[in-house]
Structure 1
Amino acid sequence: MSIIQTLPYEWLVGLRYTRAGKRSGRDSFISFISLISVTGIALGVAALIIVLSVMNGFQKDVTDRMLSVLAHVEVFGQDGGMPNWREAARQAGKHPAVRGAAPFVETQAMLLRDGAMRPSAIRGVLPGEEEKVSDVARQIVQGRFEDLQPGRFNIVLGDLLARSLNVGVGDKLTMLLAQAQTTPAGMLPRTRSFTVVGIFKSGHPDFDASFSFVHVEDAQRMERLGAPAGLRLRIDQVRDAPQVAEELKAYLPAGVVMRDWSKLNANWFAAVQTEKKMMFIVLTLIIAVAAFNLVSSLVMTVTDKQADIAILRTLGASPASIQKIFMIQGAVIGLLGTAAGVLLGVLVALNIDVIVPFIENLLGVQFLSKDIYLISTVPSELRWPDVARIGVVSVLLAFAATLYPSRSAARVKPAEALRYE
């Protein structure tokens, strides 16, 4: 005896109604409508998985570019300085998630060259330590990062910033500091001449157009500081940065100020999360439309099977059993559509790096131009929690679509249904 034969009769009848009948073309038409419902749900689920995976991929790609320059966690010393930064770095390194630490000084200035003036975020670093917390040394496209030597007042610029100032390696420029100095002519901004020894390219236009690096001792002299402002830390998992920052308070002296990378770009990440939520809601409407199609399919089935319902009622079936039959039919359609959609969406999301170039070559187009966008390929990052959430929403919508038709079937009166048969 097969497993299907051991099922309750509600399951047997419900599963039977999902297949094409052999008695009339009307049964085949209803089954065709059911197939359309399955297809609609599958396409909606697949579209939602693919779009969210692409958005996750874009977010990860941009985040990686940002964190190649930014620190995962920043620790600021008391009174604007951290003279014992080496000891603080050693203590922070005791946390199992911390991979590296480096001192820094950060300030704002204007860079001047032949009448061109551009604002820049100036970061003072130790070249030998900086590679522990950022990828700037590996992003140098001209010159050498190691040429940032104390007392020489050398500078490394982002490539877009260097291009806007029309400077290259070996050229000199003038830095105008925010602090003013008193002269016989009045209050004037402090200036310092710097020599360009390197140009880096992170791939993120905001950083490439505004960031500059100098030696930390030169930055201290410019800011008139006796020590670095604090430490920049790199950790294993960037998503754990807020939690790690909180835990580090137990390793470091009291009074230090923690700031993780998510707070440095809070507006950008809030905008991305809002966009993802709105996209989830909008694309869920596709599944909702397919669910409405499922309602029409079940209503047609109930109308066509009124004689069958009447016979089952006369044989002793309760209204609850009749309702269960059509709920099973709708649930099976929803589960089939969801399973097919999850399979299709996962396959496309995992192979989008192959599918998109194939479509571009086939149509002779390029979806992402390097001249306009940060990247030229469509990224994708499949997250299984997103897949699970989409699957649950799809199944719930399909189940909700069965409520009205199944209740209508339960209210069918046997005598009236058999009157015209």
Structure 2
Amino acid sequence: MFKPLSLFLALRYVRSRQGNGFASFISASSTVGIALGVMVLIVVLSAMNGFEKALADKFLSVIPHGQLIGVNAPIPQWNTKAAQVLKSEHIIAAAPMINVSGMMQYKGQVKGIELKGVDLKLEQQVSSIADYIVEGKWNDLSEPNGILIGAGIAKKLALSLGDSVQLLLPQHVSLQGNHNVNQSFPIPLTQQVTIVGIFKFGGVVDDMNAYMQFDNVSTLMGYNPGQAQGLSIKVDNVFNAPKIIREAAYKLDHYVYVSDWTNEQGHLFNDIQLVRMVMYIVLIIVIAVASFNIVSTLIMAVNEKKGDIAILKTMGASSFVIMCSFMIQGLVNGIVGVTAGAFSGIYLANNLTDIIREIEMFFGIHFLSSDIYFIDFLPSYLHYPDVYVTVITALFLSLVATLYPAWSATKIDPAQVLGQL
């Protein structure tokens, strides 16, 4: 069977190295180091992908991907404007909205809230908040002065279903038409509402958001029929939302403020990307350090095989053959380490969530709390291009590590070496 001389020599040297204790240790350490680096890098990148996917699939499912908000005046005939927006190719749904920052008062306790006036039917097309209701039902918002609040608000004010609370909302003087320049602090609007539902999502969403039927909030804030503060929009690709929302705004014949999820929540995505980049650089350096242990192994192999190299040269072996034989010998460590690390990393990445849950159950701890984060588990999503990039990078570093020792082997002078034997 055909076998190139350089490959034959490399495999023979690899087998002969097993008997040398120190050389075997250095060789094994480089292989293990490369394997660990590749494995950890794949797992970390998968975890970052998991957080990114959780951000898109869960967190962005309850907040609008984008909003078009009237600047100088409310949007008139919002039905017509929504139909114009839906003509855009990448927009899935649009719903009217009114957002008001206010206070909720109950038994002497006060809590700041973000009140959202929503259409009960259309809001379910742009938000999945109804899926997180733990008490009551979404359609109960159709009751007179019914309000849906987050679990954080309910906990802060000790509220339960059926409780009557008071809303304190700012007057929008531009809509009321009674501007008084001497009135620095207008009397807030007050409204008694009844708790008809409580939702639990996690994080700041539970602590701030409250929902009421669109018509109720519209009447309370003094909007005319058919008017809306803005439109909530859902797109087919959340990471292209800024471009899609901006293009949709150009189609409206109304002066609007363009907002998307990156304006308020984009820091989450940016943090994930930053951690991803930092971890990638750090772990590539770890792989590089492990790969350059190959240098030590090959330098010892070259010094040990000087006589063999000299004899090969006198028999006509070219420098290319000798250099390739040592490069292949070093690459064996890289290939074994990368293969072991890649398969281990893929297995751990695919089972990371379950493994972390088992660790949490065994030690009785919880790494992520839904009260702080928007998820209570460690997500993982294996993206195979990340595996390919990691494997290719590790193999490239292993190849680079073999160049100098292999080149130094070609510079051995046969006459000088054989004269010392």
* Superposed displacement of residue 202, structure 1: 4.2
Equivalent residues of 2:51, 2:272 under 8 A apart: no
CA distance in 1, matches of 2:155, 2:368: 21
> What does residue 323 of structure 1 align with?
323
Is 2:20 the partner of 1:21? no
Question: Residue type matched to 2:194 in 1?
Answer: V
Question: Residue type matched to 2:214 in 1?
Answer: V
CA distance in 2, matches of 1:81, 1:371: 36
Question: Residue type matched to 2:261 in 1?
Answer: W
TM-score (norm 2): 0.87
> What does residue 176 of structure 1 align with?
168
**Deviation by residue 1:351-389 (Cα, 9 ceiling, x = unmatched):** 22343344556x444453658764443321112232222
For residue 265 of structure 1, give the secondary structure of its aligned residue in structure 2.
helix
Equivalent residues of 2:94, 2:231 under 8 A apart: yes
Within-5 A mapping of 1:181-192: 187-192=185-190
CA distance in 2, matches of 1:259, 1:187: 28
User: What runs of 5+ residues in structure 2 fail to find an aligned partner?
Assistant: 174-179
* Superposed displacement of residue 171, structure 1: 1.6
* Superposed displacement of residue 207, structure 1: 0.7
Within-5 A mapping of 1:43-122: 43-77=36-70, 79-122=72-115
Equivalent residues of 1:11, 1:328 under 8 A apart: yes
Judged with a 3 Å threshold, the aligned counterparts in structure 2 of structure 1 residues 268 and 333 are, in CA distance, closer, same or farther, namely same
CA distance in 2, matches of 1:296, 1:254: 70
Question: Residue type matched to 1:44 in 2?
Answer: G
CA distance in 2, matches of 1:159, 1:409: 71
**Deviation by residue 1:67-89 (Cα, 9 ceiling, x = unmatched):** 23211222234534222322232
Q: What is the RMSD of the two structures over their aligned residues, measured on CA atoms?
A: 3.0
Question: Residue type matched to 1:207 in 2?
Answer: V
Question: Residue type matched to 1:390 in 2?
Answer: T
User: What runs of 5+ residues in structure 1 fail to find an aligned partner?
Assistant: none
CA distance in 1, matches of 2:100, 2:335: 57
Pick aligned residue for 2:157 from 151, 155, 165: 165
> What does residue 419 of structure 1 align with?
419
Pick aligned residue for 1:142 from 119, 135, 143: 135
> What does residue 205 of structure 2 align with?
207
Equivalent residues of 1:172, 1:193 under 8 A apart: no
CA distance in 2, matches of 1:160, 1:358: 28
For residue 161 of structure 2, give the secondary structure of its aligned residue in structure 1.
coil
CA distance in 2, matches of 1:82, 1:184: 29
* Superposed displacement of residue 256, structure 1: 4.3
> What does residue 368 of structure 1 align with?
367
CA distance in 1, matches of 2:11, 2:82: 66
Question: Residue type matched to 2:241 in 1?
Answer: A
For residue 21 of structure 1, give the secondary structure of its aligned residue in structure 2.
helix
Question: Residue type matched to 2:210 in 1?
Answer: S
For residue 351 of structure 1, give the secondary structure of its aligned residue in structure 2.
helix
CA distance in 2, matches of 1:283, 1:95: 43
Equivalent residues of 2:102, 2:115 under 8 A apart: yes
> What does residue 304 of structure 1 align with?
304
CA distance in 1, matches of 2:369, 2:145: 34
Judged with a 3 Å threshold, the aligned counterparts in structure 2 of structure 1 residues 372 and 98 are, in CA distance, closer, same or farther, namely closer
Question: Residue type matched to 1:35 in 2?
Answer: A
Equivalent residues of 2:202, 2:371 under 8 A apart: no
TM-score (norm 1): 0.87
Equivalent residues of 2:149, 2:198 under 8 A apart: yes
The percent identity for this pair of structures is: 33
Within-5 A mapping of 1:231-250: 231-249=231-249
**Deviation by residue 1:270-305 (Cα, 9 ceiling, x = unmatched):** 222212211222222321231132221122211212
CA distance in 2, matches of 1:183, 1:158: 37
Which 10-residue stretch deviates more, 43-52 or 394-403?
Answer: 394-403
Judged with a 3 Å threshold, the aligned counterparts in structure 2 of structure 1 residues 31 and 146 are, in CA distance, closer, same or farther, namely same
Judged with a 3 Å threshold, the aligned counterparts in structure 2 of structure 1 residues 186 and 324 are, in CA distance, closer, same or farther, namely closer
Judged with a 3 Å threshold, the aligned counterparts in structure 2 of structure 1 residues 15 and 72 are, in CA distance, closer, same or farther, namely farther
* Superposed displacement of residue 47, structure 1: 0.8
CA distance in 2, matches of 1:229, 1:372: 30
> What does residue 176 of structure 2 align with?
none
> What does residue 12 of structure 1 align with?
8
CA distance in 2, matches of 1:127, 1:204: 22
Judged with a 3 Å threshold, the aligned counterparts in structure 2 of structure 1 residues 15 and 95 are, in CA distance, closer, same or farther, namely farther
Question: Residue type matched to 2:306 in 1?
Answer: Q
Judged with a 3 Å threshold, the aligned counterparts in structure 2 of structure 1 residues 237 and 62 are, in CA distance, closer, same or farther, namely closer
For residue 16 of structure 2, give the secondary structure of its aligned residue in structure 1.
coil
**Deviation by residue 1:124-180 (Cα, 9 ceiling, x = unmatched):** 111121111111122211223223348x33321111111101222222222222348
CA distance in 1, matches of 2:318, 2:71: 76
Equivalent residues of 2:66, 2:261 under 8 A apart: yes
CA distance in 2, matches of 1:40, 1:68: 41
Which 10-residue stretch deviates more, 251-260 or 379-388?
Answer: 251-260
Which 10-residue stretch deviates more, 404-413 or 90-99?
Answer: 90-99
CA distance in 1, matches of 2:36, 2:59: 34
For residue 225 of structure 1, give the secondary structure of its aligned residue in structure 2.
coil
For residue 95 of structure 1, give the secondary structure of its aligned residue in structure 2.
coil
Judged with a 3 Å threshold, the aligned counterparts in structure 2 of structure 1 residues 304 and 260 are, in CA distance, closer, same or farther, namely same
CA distance in 2, matches of 1:393, 1:408: 24
> What does residue 39 of structure 1 align with?
32
* Superposed displacement of residue 42, structure 1: 1.2
* Superposed displacement of residue 312, structure 1: 2.2
Which 10-residue stretch deviates more, 171-180 or 269-278?
Answer: 171-180
**Deviation by residue 1:334-357 (Cα, 9 ceiling, x = unmatched):** 233222211111111112234334
